[in-house]
Amino acid sequence: MNEGPEVVVITGASAGVGRATARKFARHGARVALLARGLDGLEGARKDVERLGGKALVVPVDVADANQVEAGANQIEAELGEIDIWVNNAMASVFSPIKEMTPEEFRRVTEVTYLGYVYGTLAALKRMLARDRGVIVQVGSALAYRGIPLQSAYCAAKHAVQGFCDSLRCELLHDKSRVHLTMVQLPALNTPQFGWVKSRLPRKAQPVPPIFQPEVAAEAIYFAAHDPRREFYVGAPSVAVITVNKFAPALLDHYLARTGYDSQQHDGAEDPNRADNLWHPLPGDHGAHGAFDTRALSWSPQFWTSEHRTLIALTLMALGVAGLVALLKNR
């Protein structure tokens, strides 16, 4: 670890989960490199980080370009110091039936949401392996295990990230490396993506309820970066979806066929001509939150128990011992 504040790289840092995560690290005084395409959002993120006590470096990057990612990593180490934590979070998606998707759309989503993670990981490994330290956090989704209708390109990319991580994890273990890799599987979140993702849906897109605030994700990412277990499931819905899919995938096929279209849309017709960010960033600073604040949960009891599992286990053990002692005394 660097002497002094840790150096953290966050891709997709201009909005949504990346923006909330940048704020979380800033509150702990980190030096945060902010990677994304949108200059307005990056500038807003920089102000957030500095206001909260961290140091920010804005690095305009399209993560689909490996050369840009590598050049960004060089700039970060030159200006902030050796990278301690790399968080891959940038994403792109298209809400559309597969039969209406184009090859170019599949390529673009894959290049950002999957290959962007690969390029970020390669840049991090190039530096971390030589020092034999560092943590790579892959921001995943319950959709890494269970594809749903209308988001085929995104689901496929998240599946690919999960498979990539399994391979890399085995190699790190084989090499006895002290570079850590962890993946955080997130639930539905209240982020701006639903207002800027390209969509062919007749009604406005929404995250599948129940919806969580992006700060829930940021808390999990921060914890995973400092206690890097193999994988984290965040939110009871993520646990339920992943578990049921392991044992009854056909049941989920039929359930999602019935519910997956309506659950991803809400009241109000979509404007078929609205701008989207698939190819170019939208102007403006969109912040961390989307349009669903009144419906979003700010806490996940499931993740709290995961975060504090050692304390809970010790408490249960103590209660068990106390109960056994009481039982023996009363005999």
What are the catalytic residues? 154
What whole-number distance in Å separates Cα of residue 161 and Cα of residue 53?
32
DSSP 30-91: -EEEEEES-HHHHHHHHHHHHHTT-EEEEEE--TT-HHHHHHHHHHHHHHT-S--EEEE---
CA 26 to each of CA 20, 32, 128, 181: distance values in angstroms, whole numbers, following the listed order: 10, 7, 22, 22
Handedness of CA 52, 54, 60, 62 (dihedral sign): negative
Give the residue carrying structure tokens 């997956």: 260
Q: Edge to edge, what strands does the sheet with 180-186 contain?
A: 55-60, 31-36, 7-11, 85-88, 135-141, 180-186, 231-233
What whole-number distance in Å separates Cα of residue 205 and Cα of residue 302?
26
Token readout for 269 is 């017709």
CA 310 to each of CA 182, 185, 317, 321: distance values in angstroms, whole numbers, following the listed order: 19, 21, 10, 16
What whole-number distance in Å separates Cα of residue 11 and Cα of residue 72?
11
What whole-number distance in Å separates Cα of residue 221 and Cα of residue 28?
14
Amino acid at 219: E
Contacts (Cβ under 8 Å, ≥6 apart) of 118? 164
At 296, give phi and psi (nearest 5°): -95, 145
